Amino acid sequence: MLSIHGPARRLCDGVSRRELLRIGGLALGGLSLPHLLKAEAEAGIGHSHKSIIMVFLSGGPPHQDMVDLKPNAPAEVRGEFKPIRTNVPGIDICEHLPRIAQRMDRLAVIRSLVGSEGHHAAFQCMHGRTQEKQPGGGWPSLGSTVSKLQGPSSEGVLPFVGLSPKMTTSTWANVGNPGFLGPAHAAFKPNAEGMGSMVLQGVSAQKLGDRRRLLGAFDAMRRQADASVDRTDETTRQALSVLTSSKLADALDLSRESPRLRDAYGRGDPKPAGYGDAGPLMNDYLLTARRLVEAGVRVVTLAYGRWDWHGKPHGTTFDNARHHLPIFDQGLSALLDDLKARGLDKDVTVLVWGEFGRTPRINKEGGRDHWPQVGCALMAGGGMKTGQVIGSTTANADLPKDRPVHFQEVFATLYRNLGLDPRTRTVSDHAGRPHYLVDDPHVPIPELG
């Protein structure tokens, strides 16, 4: 906790200086920002600003009902959806993804994703490695590794933000753990308690629309804190810069966007998108992710919806997909358009995937079950060669037919796009042992350039 002591005077807007300065860890598990920034400084601050937006489709999306349809397979395999043409000749996808179909030239579809450990969790998608046989402290996630190696892109901006909301299934809400790199490289999680963990004594992230009060309080704090900060160390100065900078607050404040753009994304619903442990289909989070990377955040992760559709009594796979897919189609398409319009598409890599695929055969309840043997992913931006399909599956979409793409190949590509060579860069564990960013023999996906 950052605490700059002094009389608890009330500022003109009724918020005390002490209240604003006593900010409990900013959802970083109680870690003080000075400690966070000191750890980042030890790794050095990178000069590039490439970014990742990772969208985790929690529960395992049905690859054969989205991007790998098999219209010639038996009815119990092919399902109810028909393929439609995209703007890239020879590539067909689901009829319920028409907007994505018209932007296929900006996407690469991986139809042969392999290496899933089969766990119903975000861990492998966030960390690149499996949960078994971890070193002491555990594997660090993509965002935490980037935080360690590159640090913040600019003063007042943290490198790693996790937008996933609180969910009953906490393993799906995992935005990525810092592992052996320590809590100094944990994600900033403004949604950890339902948009209430960024707390400034009653001013939560939900209330950031009250710009006059919030920024007025920040400005008053800057003026009144100067004398005290002059006697603090550099990392405390940096911490105060983060806390008093409006960059993160601005990025999280969607009221600064036009209603037309928010409508283009589709806004979404904060309520669980399904039954039980469902997460929301919040397209506002996709817009927030764009605002965060534009503000300088290097890695943004988020969980999106509930894709674990086993069938009745909670609706068939196809009932649920008819609800989810159009909302997803609108949100992802708007994100791609927005990044391109702002000239960010070459610098920001977008990755959409889940922890595994779904069974080729539809079960008796009209659902598809867990299928770690093969899955799918969508990638865009980052200067990659898009407008292509990588890999294929057998006739029933049950096994990779050619060019299997491993989870760690995807991670190697993400690191490469950020300017980090996964073959040479390392991070060290608690015992001082260096670990490469991915394991041999995995390298960046060559087809993506």
DSSP single-letter state for residue 106: G
| CATH fit for domain 26-196+272-448, picks 3.90.650.10, 3.30.360.10, 3.30.565.10, 3.40.720.10 | 3.40.720.10
Average pLDDT of the segment spanning 191-204: 45
Average pLDDT of the segment spanning 311-335: 97
pLDDT band at 404 (very low <50, low <70, confident <90, very high): very high
* CB neighbour list of residue 226: distance below 8 Å, 6 or more residues apart: none
- Cβ atoms within 10 A of the Cβ of 447, count? 16
Residue spans per domain, the chain: 26-196+272-448
Q: Which of 126-130, 195-199, 385-389, 414-418 has the lowest mean pLDDT?
A: 195-199
Return mean pLDDT, the chain: 84
Q: Is residue 399 pLDDT above 90, yes or no?
A: yes
pTM: 0.83
pLDDT top residue among 374 and 210 = 374
Span 210-239, pLDDT tens digits: 444 544 554 554 455 444 444 445 445 545
Contacts 24+ apart (CB under 8 A), 171-174: 171/119, 171/120, 171/121, 171/122, 171/123, 172/56, 172/58, 172/59, 172/120, 172/121, 172/122, 172/277, 172/279, 172/303, 173/58, 173/122, 173/279, 173/303, 174/121, 174/122, 174/123, 174/126
